[in-house]
Amino acid sequence: EAAVTQSPRNKVTVTGGNVTLSCRQTNSHNYMYWYRQDTGHGLRLIHYSYGAGNLQIGDVPDGYKATRTTQEDFFLLLELASPSQTSLYFCASSDELSQDTQYFGPGTRLLVL
Amino acid sequence: GDSVTQTEGPVTVSESESLIINCTYSATSIAYPNLFWYVRYPGEGLQLLLKVITAGQKGSSRGFEATYNKETTSFHLQKASVQESDSAVYYCALGDLASGSWQLIFGSGTQLTVMP
């Protein structure tokens, strides 16, 4: 049973479209993260959270919003999608005592036309 | 800022051959960062392969090994005899303490294909 799940697994939208990516973890972890992965780059941190209602800005936050509604659920919102946001998105979670040991979901592939 | 550089892929080797994927790091915010190798199999998320938190120590898992070398700031991944099932993308990463919380800084990943 996967501890970090993401939906949808694939998404196609048009420029200017509104997209929500969902992530749920059953690890009882406090920390959750959203990354994007592009060819030639490592995973880059978009936003992260250390609990319900909390949001922290990562390294590449422009064009993204995020919301942590519960300990389990973390959402990434693209309100005006652009082709530059075409990417593979990963969600992850970690325990407060070992924050840099993260557990990842399977990823969502987003294509913005 | 901190950074990680690793072997550019794709890398193709034959089954039972040896493997080394190079990784070097630059850490400015912390003297001795935790070092990691993550692996991503096709269709799956990243999984922790091994973690080493002490300079000079070696980590090992599933036949892979990596030694934390603070002199050369390296953390190369090695395996003596690869299998077809090792085909995956491998990411080197360091743990960085920024803004009061730990974050991972990743290398760009190395695509490994093992030919039967």
Q: What are B34-70's pLDDT values in tens digits?
A: 999 999 999 889 999 999 999 999 999 999 999 999 9
Q: Is there a contact between A4 and B108 if contact means CB atoms under 8 Å apart?
A: no
Q: Which residues pair with B88 in a beta bridge?
A: B112
Q: What 3-state DSSP class applies to A24?
A: strand
Q: Which residues pair with B43 in a beta bridge?
A: none
Rounded to the nearest 10°, the torsion over CA A86, A102, B112, B77 is: 140
The span from the CA of A16 to the CA of A110, in Å, is 14
The span from the CA of B102 to the CA of A33, in Å, is 11
* Chain B: closest CA distance from residue A17 (Å): 26
- Average pLDDT of chain A to the nearest whole number: 94
Measured between beta carbons, the chain A residues lying within 8 angstroms of B26 are: none
- Average pLDDT of chain B to the nearest whole number: 93
- In one letter, which amino acid is B115? M
- In one letter, which amino acid is A84? S
- In one letter, which amino acid is A30? N
Q: Find the CB nearest A100 among B44, B46, B104.
A: B104
Q: What is the pLDDT of residue B43?
A: 86
Where is pLDDT greater, at A97 or A31?
A31
H or E segment and range at residue B90: strand B88-98
Q: What are A50-87's pLDDT values in tens digits?
A: 999 999 999 999 999 999 999 999 999 999 999 999 99
The span from the CA of B3 to the CA of B22, in Å, is 14
Q: Is there a contact between A56 and B99 if contact means CB atoms under 8 Å apart?
A: yes
Name which of A14-18, A93-97, B10-14, B100-104 the model is least confident about. Answer: B100-104
Interface test with B, best of A102, A103, A108, A109 (most B CBs within 10 A): A102
The span from the CA of A34 to the CA of A89, in Å, is 7
The span from the CA of B91 to the CA of B107, in Å, is 6
Residue of chain A whose alpha carbon sits nearest to that of B90: A42
